[in-house]
Amino acid sequence: MSETKKRIRRTPDEARALILEAAAARLQTDGPEGLKITEVATIAGVAHSTVLHHFGSAEGLRGALIGTMGNRLLEDILEIFQKRTVAKGDNEILLRVFETLSDKGHARLLAWMMLKGDQPLDASAGAENSSDHQMQQLFHQLIEQVSALEVEDTGDRSELGWRKARQRARFATMLAAVAAVGDGIAGQFLASQIGLSEKESRDDFRDWFASLLNGTRGRDVCP
C-alpha cells in the first residue's frame, strides 16, 4: 500500500515566509534569472499555485523579496543604533549594507528589475507596505539617525546645523548605497581587473571605505 504524503498545514504568513526564504536562497545561488515560480515552489516544498496565490506573479515575488530585504536591513540597522551609541569610525552599519545588497544578490536583482523596466513593488501589498515605501523608510530613518549623531558630535543644534547634517547624511548614504550596489553587480569582475585579492576586495576595501566615509564630511553646499 502506497503512503500518502502528509500535507503540512501552514498559516498564510508562514507559507509566505517560507516561499520568500526559498526565493532568497535561489537568488543568492542562481541570481535574478533563477527566480522562477516553478523552481522557487520546488525549493519551498509548495505547489506552484500556492506561490501564485501569495504573490500573483514572478514580478510580485521579486518585489516582495526586495521589500523583505529592506525590512530586514532596516531592523538590523536600527538594532545597531538601539544597542549602543555608534561611535565615529564604526563600520558595522556599512558592512551590513554591503552584506545585504552585494553578498546576498539583492543589488543584482534591483538592477535586473530596473533594466527590464519592472518597478520594485510587491503587487500583493498595499501602498504603505510596498517595497518602494519600505526602502524610503529605511533610508529616511538611517539618515535621521546619522544626522542626530553628527549634531551631537558638533554641538550645532541650529536649524542650519540640522540641515547641513541631514544633507551630509544623505550624500553619505547615497555614496554607500551606490558603492554597495556597484559591488554587487560588478565588484568581483572589477577586483580581478584591478588585481585585488578576494580578501582585499571584500574585507579590506569595505573597512577602508567605512573609514573614508567616517573621516570625510565633504564640502557643504547648503546656503
Q: pLDDT tens digits, residue range 30-59?
A: 888 888 999 999 999 999 999 999 999 888
Pair 196, 126 in one domain: yes
Task: Give, rounded to a whole angstrom, the gap between the first and last alpha carbons of the chain.
Answer: 81
What pLDDT digit, counting tens, does each position of 145-156 carry?
888 888 888 899
Mean pLDDT score across all residues of the chain: 80
Pair 157, 202 in one domain: yes
Contacts 24+ apart (CB under 8 A), 11-20: 12/54, 15/46, 15/50, 15/54, 16/54, 16/64, 18/44, 18/45, 18/46, 19/44, 19/46, 19/50, 19/51, 19/54, 19/55, 19/61, 20/64, 20/65, 20/68
Q: Please give the residue that has the higher pLDDT: either 138 or 89.
A: 138
Pair 138, 29 in one domain: no
Q: Which residue has the cell 543584482?
A: 108
Q: Does the residue 4 lie in any domain?
A: no
Residue 122 has pLDDT above 50, yes or no: no
For residue 40, give the CATH number of its domain: 1.10.10
Q: Which residue has the cell 546656503?
A: 223
Q: Does the residue 120 lie in any domain?
A: yes
**Residue 83 is part of which domain span?**
70-215
Residue 192 has pLDDT above 90, yes or no: yes
Pair 144, 98 in one domain: yes
Residue 174 has pLDDT above 80, yes or no: yes
**pLDDT at 158 (0 to 100):** 94
Q: Please give the residue that has the higher pLDDT: either 100 or 215.
A: 100
